[in-house]
Structure formats: C-alpha cells, structure tokens
A = this chain, B = another copy of it.
Amino acid sequence: MRVVVPFDAAAPKTRLSGVLDSDERDDFARVMLDDVLGAVREAGHTPEVLSTEPLDFGPVRVDERPLSEAVNAVLAERGGEQTAVVMADLALVTAETVERLVNTEGDVVIAPGRGGGTNALLVRHPEFETDYHGVSCRDHRRIARNIGADVRECDSFRLATDVDEPADLVELLLHGEGESAGWLRERGFELDAGDGRVGVRRD
C-alpha cells in the first residue's frame, strides 16, 4: 500500500488570511501536514509527500504540475499496487480513520469532502485516473464507473473536514487529536459559542 500526501507548498491556506498572517499560514499548513503524516505512520504505512516545491524535510517527491497530473503520475507507476491519496489539510485524521479508509473494499474508494471534493481516495484499479478540478467526488465516481470499477464510499466526518476557512477551525478545536489543535490554542484561538452558532475567536 502506497499512501501519498499531496501538499501545496506555495501560499497555502489563503482563505485563512483573515485570522492568520502569511507566515502563520505556512506554519499551520506544515503542522497539519505533520498530523496527517503521523496518522498515516501510526496506521502502519509510510507516507510519501508529494509537494509542489522542495521542503526542508525529506524525502519529498516534488512535482510542480497541477494536482491531478502529479497524482496520476504516481498512479501510473504503481504496477498493480494499491495507492491511497490523502490530502495534507485533513487535520482531524487519526490512525483509525486511515485504517478505515484502507480497509474499505472496492476498486476505487472515495472519501468525499464537504462541497464535493475528494479528500481521500484509494485506488485499486489499474486504469483509474484522477480529476481533482471541479466537483471531483462526482467526477471520480463517473470516471470509476466508466472503466467498470466498483466504486465505494468511505463515510468519515474526519476525512470530510479539510481545514480551509475559519469555520473549519471550530472542528479542529473540537475534535483535533494531533498537534494542529494545540498550535491554534497556543496562538490564542478558542471556541466562541456566544450567540447560537459556534465560531472561533482569537485573543
């Protein structure tokens, strides 16, 4: 089992610019990446980081192309081996979540993200190729059906929650089990349950 973790190193997490400055966003993206890598390792796998730029830790596979092309290049190499693709901003992911993903049956397993994304994917079919642009979970289902692959879902709130915008920080503060939640708390973030809907505030 290969487990690939794509990481966009250039200006990550811009939708958090209202609450984190540029250096903080870089740091936060790296802490989340570390949480994902830790969960993959704890589940017994060796994660491979697929980054758009070299990083100061290794080994990292660098591919500057758009996500779909970079992932498809990995899939093309697999020679029958099953490959999981887990996004680097799934900071709620735990070893148990990774195990559930990789133990889900099917030629193609999709863990949808909120808003139609494909937050995690497990590919066991030699002809499957990704297309992350647009409503990718719908497109990935169609691509799988078109090649006669049995497509299944991994139904996980932890995999569905990519941390992109301030509302997502609520989930991290509530459910995060890695370093990312602590990173936020150290920088003064806390839940704001004042008026009905839960948000975050920063002291």
Residues of A within 8 A of B (CB): 96-97, 100, 111-112, 114-116, 134-135, 137-138, 155-161, 167, 170-171, 174-175, 191, 193, 197-198
Closest chain-B Cβ to A60's Cβ sits at a distance in Å of 28
List 24 interface pairs A-B (beta carbons < 8 Å), by A numbering.
A96-B155, A97-B155, A100-B155, A112-B157, A112-B174, A114-B157, A114-B161, A114-B171, A115-B167, A115-B170, A116-B170, A116-B174, A116-B191, A116-B198, A135-B174, A135-B191, A135-B193, A135-B198, A156-B156, A156-B157, A157-B157, A157-B159, A157-B160, A160-B160
In the complex, which residues of chain B have a beta carbon less than 8 angstroms from the beta carbon of A138?
Answer: 174
Closest chain-B Cβ to A134's Cβ sits at a distance in Å of 6
Tell me how many chains of this kind the complex includes: 2
Contact B158 A116 (CB under 8 A): no
In the complex, which residues of chain B have a beta carbon less than 8 angstroms from the beta carbon of A115?
Answer: 167, 170, 197-198
Instruction: For A198, give the chain B residue with the smallest CB separation.
Output: B116
In the complex, which residues of chain B have a beta carbon less than 8 angstroms from the beta carbon of A167?
Answer: 115
CA distance A134 to B191 in the complex (A): 11
Closest chain-B Cβ to A186's Cβ sits at a distance in Å of 20
In the complex, which residues of chain B have a beta carbon less than 8 angstroms from the beta carbon of A97?
Answer: 155
In the complex, which residues of chain B have a beta carbon less than 8 angstroms from the beta carbon of A158?
Answer: 155
Closest chain-B Cβ to A12's Cβ sits at a distance in Å of 16
